[in-house]
Amino acid sequence: MSTRSLTVDEAMRELVTQTRELLIGQDAAVTAFAAEICRHLALSPLQRRPGIFLVAGPNLDDDHLGLPLGLAATLRKTGGRYELASSQGEDLAHIFAPLSSGTEVHSLLHSVKDNPNALFVLQDIDKAQPGLLKTLMTAWTQGFIVDDGGEKIPLAEAIFVLTTEVAQEKIGQIARSEPDPDRLHVACLKLLVDAGFPASLLKSIDTAFALKSLTPGETVLEHHRSFSEQVTSHGLVLEEGGIDGRILAHSIDSSIKPSIADALLPRDELDARLAQAKAAGVHTVRLVLGEEIINVVPVDEPRVHTEALPPANAVPLSSPEGETAGN
């Protein structure tokens, strides 16, 4: 989505809406992140510089990626995601190679040439090689990367989201009790330094965002609220107690069978089924776990009371009278 067609307020609302679907139960962090991103994007060309943001705190099921994924879904294209703690050799030779090689690691230098305003995600930044950190911090300070031919590749339009699991438990606890984002930012940085996070790296960071710790009960309640809001957004009513308990159990343990990978986050497939129910004139629904998907079951239509709606791309069947079955 182009930010040229949106005001700052519209861009922030869109970013918050999309990110909340990807990161459930972290509304404070989502709102703070959206505000800082939109403030950064609103800088004048003379003020423009690379945006460097850090995500810390609990990282269950890759929660840290929720914020950058929301940004990628709305305002920025993804230039690359780099797992700096992996054993795949994601070092200077790969990240700053002049061209993308045939490996799984794409060259940051190549990506920023093709897409100057891209979003780059650097996971476990505290575990990056010292040489890589030094090169990155120099590039962020100068606002450009120099390729092998001596050409300066500008970074002023790029955004870097860094993640770390350093001091995640302590950060997760303090994020529960500190509502002010500025004070939380300062407290987060102090906990990181005390835990051995590179202090020099923190000087390059614009803002740190802390995810809070959630109890299992809070996690279930937040997922229930999110599903309820999703149903309501389609003009439907969720039956009281109308969410299959196994769906909510996945918010605590994603290994529970049957699997519903890609059915929870993102939930665009569920949106399609809800829209289909609304178009069919359904008023009240329940959500029931099927084989790897979440089915939308009408509860105010006697003839289909126990049957889930077919997939959104199903071909309608014709009755002997030539009418579409179910109409």
Q: What is the DSSP string of 245-298?
A: HHHHHTTT-TTPSSP-TTTSSS-HHHHHHHHHHHHTT--EEEEEE-SSSEEEEE
For the question of whether the overall pTM of this predicted structure is more than 0.75, the answer is yes
Q: Give the number of other Cβ atoms within 10 Å of residue 258's Cβ.
A: 12
Question: Are 188 and 174 contacting, i.e. CB atoms less than 8 angstroms apart?
Answer: yes
Q: What is the pLDDT of residue 5?
A: 65
pLDDT beyond 80 at 319: no
Question: Are 32 and 20 contacting, i.e. CB atoms less than 8 angstroms apart?
Answer: no
Q: Work out the average pLDDT over 131-139.
A: 90
- Tokens, residue 231: 């149903």
- Looking at domain 3-210, its CATH class is alpha beta
Q: What is the pLDDT of residues 5-53, one digit of tens each?
A: 678 889 999 999 889 888 889 999 999 999 999 999 999 988 989 999 9
Residue (of 26, 43, 102, 114) closest to 78 by Cα position? 114
Q: C-alpha angle with apex 295: 216 to 289, nearest 5 degrees?
A: 40
pLDDT beyond 80 at 249: yes
pLDDT beyond 90 at 202: yes
Residue 207 has φ and ψ, to the nearest 5°, of -150, 145
Q: What is the pLDDT of residue 186?
A: 95
* Distances, alpha carbon 265 to alpha carbons 206, 217, 252, 268, in Å: 28, 19, 14, 8
Average pLDDT over the chain reads 83
* Residue ranges of domains in the chain: 3-210, 216-304
Q: What is the pLDDT of residue 246?
A: 85
Task: Evaluate the CA torsion angle 69, 75, 80, 82 in order and state its sign.
Answer: negative
Q: What is the pLDDT of residues 69-95, one digit of tens each?
A: 999 999 998 888 888 886 554 555 667
